[in-house]
Amino acid sequence: MAASLPQSELVIVRGASHLALLDKPEAINDGLVRLVKRATPGRAALAARWIRERLRRRG
């Protein structure tokens, strides 16, 4: 599945059970941090940010 998704990353957490969040939280957190760093805001988020900044400037 990861190969078919652009910018995806398959993370295999060795030595973890079905409760990987509890077994290996560092590995999960590292993967999530990489995901957030790769994420780019969509068009709606960029438009909302632009509107907020314009309203903020008007005071």
pTM for this model (two decimals)? 0.57
In this prediction, residues 11-40 reach a mean pLDDT of: 91
Q: Which pLDDT band, with edges at 50, 70 and 90, does 41 fall under?
A: confident
Total domains in the chain come to 1
Inter-residue contact 7 to 38 (CB < 8 Å): yes
pLDDT score of 3: 86
Parent domain of 35: 2-58
Across the chain, what does the average pLDDT equal? 90
Q: Which pLDDT band, with edges at 50, 70 and 90, does 40 fall under?
A: confident
Q: E strands, the chain, where? A: none
CA atoms of 59 and 53, how far apart (whole Å): 10
